[in-house]
Chains A and B, each alone.
Chain A
Amino acid sequence: MNTNMKRRLFLKASLAAGTVGMAVGAGLLIPGTVLAARNTAAFGAENVGDALKAGMGSDAVTDSPEVKIEGPDNPENGAAVPVEVTTTLTGVESIALLVEKNVKPLCGVFYPGKRMKPGLSIRVKVGESSDIIAVVKTADKLYSARKSVKVTIGGCG
């Protein structure tokens, strides 16, 4: 939690600096300077609980109807399964996407800025039929929703 907060602060600070750079010229955002060290513990975790602890600060998640995850029930090919996460929660700090039965469940963590409507669409790989879990972090708690998908061809090579 503590390191996560620091990361967020660092992120804000460096993004602010980036804005100045923009004014100067084609400074644009270079991702490497924006995020602190990659959270290898979370991405290397081999089960959902560990991934959440490392990536979101806790594995205590509450299922919530305010988080929605949509995708095909039976996508056949697991190499690219489109999923859409939406939420009506406010004060969203981050959104994590996990595929429960993948060898490394964590697919991605998204940090929405102030303007962004929390929610996104992306395509993920699903190794075998599994639940896809969306976890939304607000200031106080983690909320989640899950969606079960059946794949006939695994997508993790």
Chain B
Amino acid sequence: MASKSIKLKAKAENGETTVKALIKHPMETGRRKDKESGELVPAHYIEEVVCSYQGEPLLTSELGPTISKNPFLSFKFTGGAAGETVELSWKDNKGGSESATATIK
């Protein structure tokens, strides 16, 4: 489940696990103009990010284009132990999607 666009890390500490995700994505709003051609760059952004822990849903999010380029997302959940896994996947407005799995440290 290697993924080019997602860097996913999870660390368990004191009974809770911190998940950090960095997704490589342009997050174009559709309002920016190309400097050379002067034409609007079409919107291209992540719409949904889903994260789960051992298959159990942790977080479902709907995003808009006002999330920064290369979105970074971090949150905590209770439980989780080293060796278990968290999964994250995203989908963008052009139908692109990717997913990644990380082992909790």
Interface residues of A (CB under 8 A from B): 11, 15, 18-19, 22-23, 26, 28-32, 34-35, 38-39, 43, 79-82, 99, 102-113, 115-117, 119-125, 155-157
Contacts and interface: CB of A to CB of B under 8 A. Distances in A.
Contact of B48 (A23, A31, A81, A155): A31
Given A115-B79, A117-B78, A35 B60 contact: yes
A32 B78 CA distance: 26
Given A112-B59, A125-B66, A157-B33, A117 B48 contact: no
Contacts, number: 145
Given A22-B55, A29-B87, A80-B69, A116 B62 contact: no
A31 B6 CA distance: 15
Nearest 7 pairs of A and B residues by beta carbon: A157-B32, A31-B48, A80-B68, A31-B91, A123-B68, A22-B55, A120-B75
A121 B59 contact: no
A133 to B, nearest CB: 13
A113 B64 contact: no
A39 B76 CA distance: 26
Contacts of B49: 31
Given A19-B56, A122-B67, A122-B71, A108 B61 contact: yes
B75 A124 contact: no
A100 B67 CA distance: 14
Nearest to B91: A31
Given A29-B50, A157-B32, A124 B66 contact: yes
B5 interface: no
A149 B81 CA distance: 37
A116 B91 contact: no
Interface string B67-91: 1110111111111000000010111
Contacts of A117: 16, 75-78
Given A23-B55, A29-B89, A115-B78, A121 B72 contact: yes
A115 B53 CA distance: 9
B29 A157 contact: yes
A23 to B, nearest CB: 7
Given A15-B57, A22-B55, A119 B76 contact: yes
5 contacts: A23-B55, A39-B62, A115-B56, A121-B74, A124-B67
